[in-house]
Structure 1
Amino acid sequence: MELLLIFFGAAVANNFILARFLGICPFLGVSKEVPTAFSMGMAVTFVMTTSAIVAWFVQGFVLEPLGLEFLQTMSFILIISSFVQLTEMAVRKISEPLYKALGIFLPLITTNCAILGLALLIPERGYNLIESVIFGFGAGAGFTLAIVLMAGMRENLKFADVPQPFQGAPMTMIIAGLLALAFMGFGGIVAM
C-alpha cells in the first residue's frame, strides 16, 4: 500500500510539473502535439527511473560511506547527463523524425530540474531501492500525464474561437494554471 501511495503522490498529488513547478521548459515547449509530448514523456520517464536507481546506489554506496555528501548535486547531474545522452542516441537511432520533432528539448532533459529534484528528494526522504524506483517511475508517469494533457488541450485550441489577446502564450499559461489547480485537488489525498 505504501508503494502505491508513493507512486500516486509522485504522479498526481505532488506532480513535478503541476504541483512543484519543476520541468516547465519541456512542458511548455514540447506540448504542442500529443505524439511528440508522449514521446518526450517516455524519454523523461526512462531518465527519471534509471537516474533514481543509480542515484540511490551512488548516495548509499559512495557518497555517504566516504563522507562526500557535498558532491551530491554534481554527482546526480553527471548521472542524469549520462542517461540523457544514452536516451538521445537511442531516439536518434530508432526514430530520426521523432529526434527532429523533439529538437533541442531532448538534450535539455539534462538540465530538467524535475529530474535533479527527483534525485535530490530520494536521499532526503530516505527511500530504499524499491521505493526509489517507484518514486522515479511515478514522477515520470506524472510528467507524461501532465505534458500529454497539455498537448491535447493545445491541439483542441487550434479549432476554438479564442479571442486575439489570449491566443498563443497567454492561453497556454491559463491552461497550465487550470491544470495546476485541478491537480492541487489531489494534494489533500496524499501528503508525500
Structure 2
Amino acid sequence: MQEAINIFIRSIFIENMIFAYFLGMCTFLAISKNVKTAIGLGIAVIFLLTITVPINYLLENYLLKPGALQWLGDSFKDVDLSMLTLLVFIAVLASVTQILALLIEKYSPSLYATLGIFLPLLAVNCAIFGGSLFMQQKEFPNIGYATVYGLGSGVGWFLAIVGLAAIRERLEYSDIPKPLRGLGITFIITALMGIAFMSFSGIKL
C-alpha cells in the first residue's frame, strides 16, 4: 500500500508529464485558455492513462516481451514479440480514444465541439503514449502498480492544464506588455510552474 501511494505521489508531482518531461505540450498550450474546457480534457487524459497503461501492462507481460508467451507452453518460451510493442501500444491507445470520443460526443456535445481536433489527436498524444512507455521502463511487479501510475500521471497532467487555464483566464484582465501577450506570457508562466514543481524533486519517499 505504501509503495502504491509513493508511486501515485511521484507520478503527480515529481515525475509530472508536463513539468518533468514536457510531454503533451501542444494540447496543453492550445486547450488551456478556458478552465471548463481544460477540466474536460484533463478528465479525458486521466481516463485514457488509467485505462491504457494497465491494458498495455498486461499485453507487455503476457504477449510481447521475450518469454511472455510461456503460459501457452514450453514451446513458446523463446518467442519474442517485442518488435510489435509500439504498434500494439498505439493500437490500444487509438481504440480507447475512439471509444472516449464517441462517449463525449453522445453525452457532452458542447465539450466535443470545444475540444475539436484535439480530442481524436489524444490517440497520438505523447503524454498518454509516454505513460505506457514509462510503465514498460519501470517494470512494475503487478498490474495494480501500473494502474496507480497511470492514474497519477493523468492527475498530474490534469492539475497542470487546469492550473495554467485558471492563470490564463486571469491574464485576460491583466496589463501585459504587448510583445508578451498570447503564447509569450504562456511560455513564461509554464516555465515558472515547472520551476515550482521542481521543488517536489527533493522529497524523499
TM range (shorter): over 0.9
Q: Pick from 176, 195, 203: which aligns with 1:162? A: 176
2:130 corresponds to 1:107 = no
CA contact (8 A) 1:85 1:107 kept: yes
Which position in structure 2 is the counterpart of 1:75?
88
Which position in structure 1 is the counterpart of 2:101?
88
Which position in structure 1 is the counterpart of 2:146?
132
Percent sequence identity over aligned pairs: 38
Which position in structure 1 is the counterpart of 2:42?
41
Aligned-pair distance for 1:188? 1.7
Which position in structure 1 is the counterpart of 2:25?
24
Which position in structure 2 is the counterpart of 1:55?
56
Which position in structure 1 is the counterpart of 2:186?
172
Q: More relative contact order in 1 or in 2 (CA 8 Å, sep 6+)?
A: 1
TM (norm. structure 1) is: 0.97
AA of the residue aligned to 1:85: Q
Aligned-pair distance for 1:70? 1.6
Unaligned runs of at least 5 residues, structure 1? none
Secondary structure of the equivalent of 2:26?
A: helix
Cα distance change, pair 190–45 in 1 and its aligned pair in 2 (3 A): farther
AA of the residue aligned to 2:191: G
- Distance in 2 (CA, whole Å) between partners of 1:108 and 1:183 is 27
- Distance in 1 (CA, whole Å) between partners of 2:121 and 2:6 is 30
CA contact (8 A) 1:48 1:139 kept: yes
2:196 corresponds to 1:182 = yes
Aligned-pair distance for 1:190? 5.0
- Distance in 2 (CA, whole Å) between partners of 1:151 and 1:138 is 20
Which position in structure 2 is the counterpart of 1:11?
12
Aligned-pair distance for 1:187? 1.2
Which position in structure 2 is the counterpart of 1:116?
129
AA of the residue aligned to 1:122: M
CA contact (8 A) 1:43 1:87 kept: yes
Cα distance change, pair 165–182 in 1 and its aligned pair in 2 (3 A): same
Cα distance change, pair 152–190 in 1 and its aligned pair in 2 (3 A): farther
Secondary structure of the equivalent of 2:189?
A: helix
TM (norm. structure 2) is: 0.91
4+ long deviations beyond 6 Å: none
Aligned-pair distance for 1:123? 2.1
- Distance in 2 (CA, whole Å) between partners of 1:71 and 1:121 is 17
Secondary structure of the equivalent of 1:186?
A: helix
- Distance in 2 (CA, whole Å) between partners of 1:188 and 1:55 is 31
Q: Pick from 138, 142, 155: which aligns with 1:141? A: 155
AA of the residue aligned to 1:101: T
- Distance in 2 (CA, whole Å) between partners of 1:108 and 1:160 is 32
What is the root-mean-square deviation of aligned Cα atoms in Å?
A: 1.0
The total of aligned residue pairs comes to 191
CA contact (8 A) 1:30 1:37 kept: yes
